[in-house]
Every structure is written in C-alpha cells, then in structure tokens.
Amino acid sequence: MTLPSSFWLAHLPGTDPGPAAVMPGPVTLAFRSPGENPWAKFDFRDVKANFAPHPAQPLNYHVAADADVLARPFYEFKEGEQYFMYLLPDLDQWARPMRLASALNVIHTPRFSSTDGVGSTIEYPFNGRSIRWTGFRFEDGGQAEVSIDGEVMGTVDQYGSAHMPATPPVGPSLPFEWEYKGLTPGNHRLRIRTLPSKNSASKGHRITVARIDAHP
C-alpha cells in the first residue's frame, strides 16, 4: 500500500504556518494519542514522511515518530474515544474539542461543541480543584445533568431568548456559565448528560460547550 500523493495541510485563514488539520485528499484525519496534542511529532515540511500506512486498513496510518499515535478518518472514531483533529498548537479556540471525549450526536464547530440528542453525553477529563464550563443559550437550548466523578452536581438550563438581556450581546445566542469549586486535588471527570426535560418555551434540547477550564 502506498501513501496518497495528495497529503496536504489545512490552515485557518489569517493564522501562522502551524497546521489546523492534516488531510489526504478530501478526508480530514483525526489522531489517537496517548499523550497531549501530537503536533510536535510532525515534520510539516514533508507531510507524507510522517506516516506509515496501516497494511490492512485504508486511510489508517501510524505516525513515523511515534508508533503509538494513530491517524485515521475522524468519522471512524467511536463513542467515548478521545481524539485530536486540529493540531495548531497556539489556537486557543480549538483547545475545547481536542479534549472532549466523543459521544453520539455531538457536533464540533470552531465556536462550540453541541448535542441535541436526549441522553447523549459530553465528558471531559481534567486535573484540578475547580472546573468552569462556558457555552451559549439558544432558543432551542435544553437542560443537562452535570456530574463530577459520578456524583450529580446539579441541573443546568441553556434556554435563552433573543429578548433576554446579554452583556455583551452574542448574535442570536446568550452566554452561559457553570462553575464548581472545592474538589480534592487530582484527576477528575466532568460529565454533561442531555435530559428529556426542557424549558416550556424552548424549541429543542441543544446543549453547547464553548470552553471548559480547570484550575488547581
């Protein structure tokens, strides 16, 4: 099996030469890595040289500098698998989707990740004594159960109307924030589960995650 001749790097407009995504032809690759963002293991001057093709799986590659890093099409990752898709190391807005554990019905965009599937979950492993989740309220915003390490910490509501005040205003959406402090130091796991309940005025069950920040 040979490598495609059309490996290329996708960049975001106005950014530095750092890569946003690696693509063989029209397919965006995502990376399974046991550590942090694997961007430092790449030689971006010669993209093809980074990959050793998997002998039995098309479009699956091991990274030459670290055989534990596997690259494959993003749509092949299963529920609960963590992956890295956007590799630009200093692009703050992509830090959120790189750390979220994937789940059914979750969609990632540059602005936020979201799900409108009742019962679907978004999970976030972190290390620290406090956690802060920010997102957006929409007219189809839903309600979610928030738990840490399996203990339910509360229920949130992301319904927001265009008639509700916001400072500053955020287009058709309103800012949302949830924070929990006082955890014991160490590793924890945040879990956000979409509930069947919602505000009677809401048009749906959408839950959004724009950022999650942990603090020691």
Task: With cut-offs at 50, 70 and 90, classify the pLDDT of residue 170.
Answer: very low
Which pLDDT belongs to residue 215? Answer: 85
pLDDT tens digit sequence for 154-167: 999 999 875 555 44
Pairwise pLDDT comparison (94 vs 149), residue with the higher score: 149
Long-range interactions of 37-43: CB distance < 8 A, separation 24+: 37/84, 37/87, 37/89, 37/98, 38/63, 38/66, 38/69, 38/84, 38/87, 39/87, 39/88, 39/89, 40/89, 41/65, 41/66, 41/69, 42/87
Q: Compute the mean pLDDT over every residue in the chain, rounded to the nearest whole number.
A: 79
The pLDDT value recorded for residue 190 is 93
Confidence band for 37, pLDDT divided at 50, 70 and 90:
confident
Q: What is the pLDDT of residue 171?
A: 40
pLDDT at 36 over 80: no
Q: What is the pTM of this model?
A: 0.56
Q: How many CA atoms lie within 13 A of 44 on its CB side?
A: 16
Is the confidence at residue 18, as pLDDT, over 50? yes
Please give the pLDDT value at position 199: 93
What pLDDT does 164 receive?
Answer: 54
Residue 106's nearest CA partner among 32, 209, 199 is 209
The DSSP result for 99-151, as a single string, is HSBP-TTEEE-SS-EEE--TT-EEEEEEESSEEEEEEEEBTTB-EEEEEETTE
Span 53-105, pLDDT tens digits:
888 888 899 988 898 999 988 888 876 677 787 676 655 444 444 456 656 67
Mean pLDDT of 138-159: 94
Q: Answer whether residue 2 shows pLDDT above 80.
A: no
Compute and round to an integer the Cα radius of gyration of the chain: 19
Task: Please check the confidence at residue 168 and state whether its pLDDT lies above 50.
Answer: no
Mind listing the domains of the chain with CATH numbers?
A: 7-90 (no CATH), 106-215 (2.60.120.260)
Q: How confident is the model at residue 187 (pLDDT cuts 50, 70, 90)?
A: very high
Reply yes or no: is the peptide bond before residue 58 cis, omega within 30 of 0: no
Please determine, for residue 1, whether its predicted confidence score (pLDDT) is greater than 60: no
